[in-house]
Structure 1
Amino acid sequence: MTRRQAAPRVAALVVLLAATALGAGRAQALSCESNDRQDAQRFGGEVAGAHYFGFETAQGWNFMLEPRPHGWQLRLLDAGGRDLSAATPPLRGETNPRDLYGWHFRSLDNSGPNLGDVNAPQRERNFVIARSGDTDEGYGWLKILDYGLADLEPRARARMVYMRFDVCLVVPKSQAEIDAAASAIDPNFVPEEEERMRACGLPPAYRLEAWLLPRWLEGDFDGDDAIDFMAPVSDVGGEARALAICRAGTWLSILDEYRAADTLGMPASYLRQVEGWRIEPFSRIPLYVDEEMRPEADGDVLVLERFEKSAYAVFWQNGILKAHRLYP
């Protein structure tokens, strides 16, 4: 999608946010829910004085509250430093929801609280999240839970010196993310997956069978910067379960019940009991209570888990397949 095609979507979102009284004294809070079409992330914090607040979002963006003479300004920077919230209306004038200023909450002459004579957003601030145009645009909101003001003398401009807040970011999923989520729960192997695994050497004695979901995982198992892939398989009779691991599209390893028990030290029945699997670096796996010291792995590790009961990490170390118990 081009930027020109995305422009109506941004405009539509601006109309939506305007309809929620973005620039008025009362802003209607938007929803903060994840579903199959969007991701929502909620967090909170506090900031005071001349300090700034920063938070890295799930998308790798930097949510910031930067100090300004009368409070803070909200910014949401992508990896390239572009402010994704900059399109928040109104684009002209003194009162933008991204500006969290003390005088927004005071009367025009600063003699008391704002009773409506200053047209400025109050505790709930809604803002646009406008990306590069490859997906629908998102939105966010900041709710001020508590605040402190200074410079309250008549005719002065009040300054916000403390704020405690909640934030929500709602970002539509890309079509690729939607397709990946659908694939993760689909047990049906596509012809390309069958072809790739057979080309790696999966013998006719085994067939692809999604007794674990997602049916297909990819990563760098042995740390050689080549894509490795793996899938659950069973023998043609459907009685024996195993995992087929193909490294760099060339070297096939079959992790069956015998190898799991005899070589890796896992319970012989573990492959029949495992409920979930995933592949990720050791560094992303939390340390568990009573877990032994973790070994070094050549690359990513494969986590096999019985949810809330037990888990093992299967990995390559110096070219040898090994296992490490995570819990219990």
Structure 2
Amino acid sequence: MSENSESDISFELKLAECADKVTVALDKMIAPAVGPEAQLMRAMRHGALAGGKRLRPFIVIEVGRMFDAPEKSLLRAASALEAVHAYSLVHDDLPSMDDDDLRRGQPTVHKAFDEATAVLAGDALQTLAFEILANTETHGDANVRCKLIEILALSSGARGMVGGQMIDMAPSFDEDDALNILARMQRMKTGALISCAAEFGAIIGGASENEHQALAGFTTDLGLAYQIKDDLLDVQGEEAVVGKAVSKDKDAGKQNFVSLLGEESAISRVEMLADQAKQHLSVFGSRASTLIQTVDFVLDRRH
């Protein structure tokens, strides 16, 4: 086995271990499925506990570890961020948005339950995130907790993820400005929560201003690379591997980075962004080795 292969396996294990920890934590944080509202909790679990890469929580924890931040604080912040991500997927899959039947290889929440329950489950997952961050168990310093809440609100609201989803619902963009609009949409819809992940780890870890800026550059490039790779998977991927429907953008006539750049140029753009993301991490030296592996994971992922 080559050294690179061993490194890849080690990274996959780290990612899987983090995903398991976040799943266990969220399972404890979501209220038991009892009483007349039990279906809501079952739907929340269906949307939040059904696997997934848990890449955003992984970034929270790995960034925080660079600064020797408390593991408990990092895990709770990571779980809050994943709750918001899960809510966004539940709503993103609704018939009024992307109308997806499959997510992570299983029926989407509105298919497993119904549309109204899916809307409420997403709402409840979102508010759960802020409940987690506001709790003193997340951090003893109220200023830190407030900062975490502020960053998550900005990243997930109208100037972040939700605003990006609004742009994504447009049937097409003006041809002369399509790439700029797509890049803006990505920074908001996908990139904002990835940037939030690094900010969470940096805030809890007490990073310096220069370190915050380096991490911001890293996540900006990583987020865009992630989205272009997602567009490539929509063209090149297989549904059984990806875990959701593919060719949806093409079938719907929607513009994405692949349709505007072409496959070869899109692949080159991802590689360029990956190199830039790694360069931003150079200030951390060997402490950032796992984050560098994260870039390679995004570059090589198949689902």
Whether these two folds match at TM > 0.5 is no
**Which has the larger Rg?**
1
Greater relative contact order: 1 or 2 (C-alpha under 8 angstroms, separation 6 or more)? 2
1 or 2, which has the higher strand percentage?
A: 1
Give the shorter-chain TM-score range: under 0.3
Q: TM-score, normalised by structure 2?
A: 0.26
